[in-house]
Amino acid sequence: MLTKIRKVKFEKERKNPIYNVVMECPDGKELFVKFDYTYATKNFWPLEVNYNKKNYGAKLAWYTREVENMTVELFLETIASKINKKYNFVLQHS
């Protein structure tokens, strides 16, 4: 993963954990992604995306495809696993 995590706000007390992450892109620009893990679908979903202070709604595929060369799901899983490890949080798979 080329993008580096700079700041994290992690809301693990909710029904579905929510991640707010500010990252530094390889080109020096800033990427903010708010995403959650939905237990019902067992997937990570982007909720809000801002790149270089421009709002992209919940669209993240353009970035993961062009810069990271991976799927949105893999990108968010990678970020979440680093955050979960840091906060000693385990997703409750039923």
Averaged over successive runs of 10 residues, the pLDDT of the chain (94 residues) comes to 96 94 96 96 96 96 96 97 95 72
Supply the pLDDT for residue 94: 53
In this prediction, residue 44 carries a pLDDT of: 96
Taking the C-alpha atoms of residue 67 and residue 1, their distance in angstroms, rounded to an integer, is 9
Output the pLDDT for position 93.
Answer: 66
Q: Specify the residue for token string 């707010």.
A: 20
- Give the global pTM: 0.93
Dist CA 12 CA 84 (whole Å): 9
- Cα(89)–Cα(13) distance, integer angstroms: 11
Pairing outcome for strands 30-38 and 43-51: antiparallel
pLDDT at 54: 97
For residue 92, the model assigns a pLDDT of 82
List 43's β-bridge partners, or say none. 38
